[in-house]
Amino acid sequence: MRILLAHTEASFLSLEALLAGWGYEVVLAQDGRAALQVLQGEHPPKLAFLDRFLPDRDSLELCREVRRADSSPYIYLILLAPEQNPADLVAALDAGADLYLSEPLDADQLRAYLQAARRILDLQDELIAALEALREQAARDSLTGLWNHGAILEILQHEWERSQRLGHPLGVIMADLDYFKSINDQFGHLGGDQVLKQVARRLESTLRHYDWIGRYGGEEFLVVLPGCDTPTTLLLAERLRKSISGKALLLPEGPVPLSISVGVCACSDPHRADVQSLLRAADTALYRAKDSGRNRVERALPPDLLERRSG
């Protein structure tokens, strides 16, 4: 674990050696400004020792700045004072410090304090991981495990904005399972659910690791392809179609013949259109594929992708 040590007294050298001897990675700061830069950096230490009297700012105000930033994960703050002062201890805790220690430090006590701090930080990490898992679970389709409707649209918006910044193309695929109503009628809703799960797995396993796929609704799937122009998007769409078509799924009630219809739209200049026009164009191409006999890939035609209206 990394620990920040912001200290001006000569005794900090022995504290640094002590922490390093216990296996901690020590990051040094000579004043409050340097300490704040470290604590507000991209990967801040999880624990910080702050001299109560830093040369350029009050360490209590430094604690307040760290807490106002509401950093995640939590940073455990320990203030080091030259002597114990009950009123100052209360002020330190009120400012956001987790622990107030006076010098000289007892090595055994300090080690015990650090072990207690690590338990708190470990619990914080577990809580953050659990919250992230809940967020992802809420963004997943409960049946297929793919991103759900809202999540895949957010992903599409994010990738669209990124493509605008970088000037990269973006491809979109809309895929619809053919004759799904007949599958439900013949094999029941449980059978239909099994079909959707298997189709989702096949589609997902066919994509590149940086592509995105979500269940757009019912038996329809939306695929977002970063960096893909029209030829590449068509190639991947055909690969998706072949992963489903002609490969029957075996259910206890019998084999289920499968195929999908696919609509494709790619935009090489993201500034010429918007997300909604891209989706509409892919959806129009999908229905063209279904109207043309299903089990095929159709690309968006120029009239399908309407330019974004100015203003």
Question: Cα separation of 27 and 48, whole Å?
Answer: 9
b/e burial code for range 23-54 (CB count within 10 A of at least 16 → b): ebebbebeebebbbebbeeeebbbbbbbbbeb
Catalytic residues: 219
Question: Cα separation of 244 and 221, whole Å?
Answer: 13
Cis link prior to 104 (omega < 30° from 0)? yes
Q: Name the fold adopted by 2-137.
A: Rossmann fold (3.40.50)
Are 244 and 199 spatial neighbours (Cβ–Cβ below 8 Å)?
Answer: yes
Question: Cα separation of 263 and 265, whole Å?
Answer: 7
* Bridge partners, residue 78, by sequence: 49, 99
Are 230 and 263 spatial neighbours (Cβ–Cβ below 8 Å)?
Answer: no
- Domain span(s) for CATH 3.40.50.2300 in the chain: 2-137
- What pLDDT score was predicted for residue 252? 87
- What pLDDT score was predicted for residue 302? 74
- What pLDDT score was predicted for residue 308? 41
Q: What is the pTM of this model?
A: 0.66
Are 144 and 197 spatial neighbours (Cβ–Cβ below 8 Å)?
Answer: yes
- What pLDDT score was predicted for residue 305? 61
- Domain span(s) for CATH 3.30.70.270 in the chain: 149-299
Are 51 and 80 spatial neighbours (Cβ–Cβ below 8 Å)?
Answer: yes
241: phi then psi, degrees, rounded to nearest 5: -60, -45
Q: Provide the residue-wise pLDDT of the chain in tens; the chain has 311 residues.
A: 999 999 876 656 788 888 999 999 999 998 899 999 999 888 899 999 999 988 888 999 999 999 988 767 789 999 999 888 999 999 999 999 999 999 888 899 999 999 999 999 998 888 888 888 888 889 999 999 999 999 999 999 999 999 988 889 999 999 999 999 999 999 999 999 999 999 999 999 999 999 999 999 999 999 999 999 999 999 999 999 999 997 889 888 889 999 999 999 998 876 677 899 999 999 999 999 999 999 999 999 876 665 443 33
- What pLDDT score was predicted for residue 310? 34
- What pLDDT score was predicted for residue 153? 96
CATH of span 149-299: 3.30.70.270
- What pLDDT score was predicted for residue 75? 93
